[in-house]
Structure 1
Amino acid sequence: MSAMKPSSRFFTISLVTSWYASNIGVLLLNKYLLSNYGFKYPIFLTMCHMTACSLLSYIAIAWMKMVPMQTIKSRVQFFKISALSAIFCASVVSGNVSLRYLPVSFTQAIGATTPFFTAIFAYLMTFKREAWLTYITLIPVVTGVVIASGGEPSFHLFGFIMCLGATAARALKSVVQGILLSSEGERLNSMNLLLYMAPIAVVLLLPATLYMEENVVGITVALARDDINIIWLLLFNSVLAYCVNLTNFLVTKHTSALTLQVLGNAKGAVAVVISILIFRNPVSVTGMLGYSLTVFGVILYSEAKKRSK
């Protein structure tokens, strides 16, 4: 790292800052829209995100040539990408639903248990065993969330189940992605994967939106007549959702997977602090202790995985 030129170091710092800003920004804006503003349509909101990801992915790859365009080579590969897209939709929709009921600080504590679910799915689906020490580090990860749940003043059971579902689906997607797109001919970089996954997600979410969130377009238009800001908020939020994926790809490309993991752990803690300052949700000492224990467990887990390789 010391040999890094000042210009490339500045570029990396700028990238990480953009990644943090877009990740935390979209999380807080989702919370504001779904909970504080009262826009109670998480499926429609996710569909807006996916529509923006479809359009902006195409512009970034086909027009701006940010990465070479990769093509889908077979019907089987298309079905694999569709399956990933369905899991991706489930995780994003569940996460957005949970934000209607739970404070951001608590959803971040639950989200930190992703390694626990990843280890379970990896074992169930690929019979891949980690070193016993790696499994031991998952104990504080889960214990922390149990403690945080008990000490959460704004605990909501349905929101908790949704958030847990979102975290499990996120872990499932990463394991399934590793299995489905593991052969050399089928591997896509994350920007091309998003280019194909996002339109499929829109197609999957459209009937769900029309069935479960009746007349949402009419309601949004009516809201916009009273307050045009809702349109700008939805547009900005959707662009930010794409920026999360773009910056995630760029940070992964310009740093290492391990750096990304460490930065990701810190990002959760930063999001918690910012959300508490903005939304002023009550926080108990027990809740913060539980969350700290979870983050500590995730750091231990990262270290154990690194040593077992």
Structure 2
Amino acid sequence: MSLNEVVSEKTNGLLSSERLFRDVPQGLQNYMAIIYLIIWYISSGATLFSNKYILSSLNGDVFSLGMNQLLLSIITSFIQMQIMKKISTQIHKTSPNIKNIFQDMLYIGAFRCITVVLGLLALKYIVVSFVATIKASSPLFTVVISRILIGEKIGHWTYFSMIPITIGLALCSSFELSFNILGFLCALGTIFFECLQNVYSKILISGERYRYTAVELQFWASLVASIFQLPILCYNVDILSAINSTSSILFLLYIFNGISYHIQSFAAYAVMAYISPITHSVANTVKRALLIWLSVLIFKNQVTFLSGLGTLTVIFGVVLYNEARDIEKKVGISNNSVNDTSPIITHRHKLLAEPEIEALIKEAEQGRVKNYDQAIKLDQIFERRPST
């Protein structure tokens, strides 16, 4: 049953939160979420290995590569937005003003800028498998950040499932450990700011004032991130000299890398619309395990018993995580449990003005409510009860 059908069947003008949570396609059971997940995995591999090849084999510059990724992401996102507007003329969506956009994107743009630069620096100094090993702790970071910023509640078994995932991914690459203090610190910084970016992206995608689509989020986040990164680029790189010294092969790889980076980021945001930040982090961790195995095949590293054991441990952790989340939903702890008193929620999700409330009600009557979070808000509006 679609959400439109749920809305049209509401009795006495009321929306049932329980029915919506049961009937609306949620999580990775939705086929579109699976498609986006596969695209995300493939494009991530293309971006990661082209990053490593450009930086290590062609002696590419970290800051030039990072700016190239953001610029191509801006261009491709803009083209995608225009195409979507033309083929979706029947959808009437109010656009936010520029002031609100930059308020929303200030943090996520800064997080993206830092994540791009630190991630490329980490790849320059340490091997791919070790970067993935360090990033294995991202689910733990996300659990803590999600709890603090958006009040997402999880149980003890979900916390426990983080342990085998992290240990398993560490085992996957234990045979190829190399250590560089700068690369290690950059990788740790990448994890932290990537988790912040994912959590805040979830807030923007599920926003009440304005719900950004994945491509809108990609465009505006990349634009703001490029503004932050431009002074860093000018300080560290002689731009004219870098342009003149760029070979045709490097130029083509820059284009390929930028497009794959855009697809990777867009697909990651699209997946985020279906799942919680913690589930997104676990999916990201599984992706890293697969990339470690691919790096072993591409760079022809020796496969050890520990790598196989690590992969099985990661799979066990993911299965345990899914089972834990199912159990928690049955006892009332769900991916959509949000504490309205958490700092960012209090700051961003203020009470809607009366015209905005009426607009939401009109959207519900026309069957244009698209996700659980908005449906819950509408349920509260229809029943005229305070948020809990």
TM-score (norm 1): 0.79
Verify the 8 A CA contact 1:149 1:155 in the aligned structure 2: no
Verify the 8 A CA contact 1:141 1:293 in the aligned structure 2: yes
Partner of 1:3: none
Picking from 20, 42, 59, the partner of 1:21 is 42
> 1:86: Cα distance to partner?
0.6
Which structure's residues are more often helix, by fraction?
1
1:272 partner SS: helix
> 1:176: Cα distance to partner?
2.5
Residue type matched to 1:124 in 2? Answer: I
In the alignment, the residues of structure 2 paired with residue 82 and residue 71 of structure 1 have an alpha-carbon distance, to the nearest angstrom, of: 18
Partner of 2:145: 121
Q: How does 1:140-219 map to 2 (within 5 A)?
A: 140-144=164-168, 151-179=175-203, 182-211=206-235, 213-219=236-242
Picking from 236, 239, 243, the partner of 2:259 is 239
| Cα separation, partners in 2 of 1:52 and 1:64, compared to 1, 3 Å | same
1:280 partner SS: coil
Picking from 317, 320, 327, the partner of 1:307 is 327
1:184 partner SS: coil
Q: CA RMSD in A?
A: 3.4
> 1:144: Cα distance to partner?
4.2
Is residue 125 of structure 2 the alignment partner of residue 101 of structure 1?
yes
Verify the 8 A CA contact 2:202 2:272 in the aligned structure 1: no
Residue type matched to 2:57 in 1? Answer: N
Is residue 57 of structure 2 the alignment partner of residue 36 of structure 1?
yes
1:253-273, Cα deviation, whole Å (9 max, x unpaired): 8xx549977865553333222
| Cα separation, partners in 2 of 1:94 and 1:291, compared to 1, 3 Å | farther
Aligned residue pairs, count: 294
Residue type matched to 1:34 in 2? Answer: L
1:74-131, Cα deviation, whole Å (9 max, x unpaired): 6345222121111122122211111112222232333343221111112233454421
Picking from 63, 73, 77, the partner of 1:57 is 77
Partner of 1:81: 105
Partner of 1:139: 163
In the alignment, the residues of structure 2 paired with residue 266 and residue 126 of structure 1 have an alpha-carbon distance, to the nearest angstrom, of: 24
- Structure number with larger C-alpha Rg: 2
Residue type matched to 1:184 in 2? Answer: E
> 1:51: Cα distance to partner?
0.5
TM-score (norm 2): 0.65
Task: Identify the range of structure 1 (110-119 vs 260-269) with the bigger mean alpha-carbon deviation.
Answer: 260-269
> 1:190: Cα distance to partner?
1.4
In the alignment, the residues of structure 2 paired with residue 217 and residue 299 of structure 1 have an alpha-carbon distance, to the nearest angstrom, of: 52
Picking from 292, 303, 313, the partner of 1:272 is 292
In the alignment, the residues of structure 2 paired with residue 136 and residue 249 of structure 1 have an alpha-carbon distance, to the nearest angstrom, of: 26
Is residue 254 of structure 2 the alignment partner of residue 230 of structure 1?
no
Residue type matched to 2:198 in 1? Answer: S
Verify the 8 A CA contact 1:70 1:188 in the aligned structure 2: no
In the alignment, the residues of structure 2 paired with residue 181 and residue 17 of structure 1 have an alpha-carbon distance, to the nearest angstrom, of: 20
1:38 partner SS: coil
Give unpaired runs (5+ residues) of structure 2.
Answer: 1-30, 330-388
In the alignment, the residues of structure 2 paired with residue 19 and residue 187 of structure 1 have an alpha-carbon distance, to the nearest angstrom, of: 22
| Cα separation, partners in 2 of 1:305 and 1:165, compared to 1, 3 Å | farther
Verify the 8 A CA contact 2:174 2:307 in the aligned structure 1: yes
| Cα separation, partners in 2 of 1:150 and 1:158, compared to 1, 3 Å | farther
Give unpaired runs (5+ residues) of structure 1.
Answer: 1-9
Verify the 8 A CA contact 2:129 2:177 in the aligned structure 1: no
Residue type matched to 1:99 in 2? Answer: L
| Cα separation, partners in 2 of 1:14 and 1:180, compared to 1, 3 Å | closer
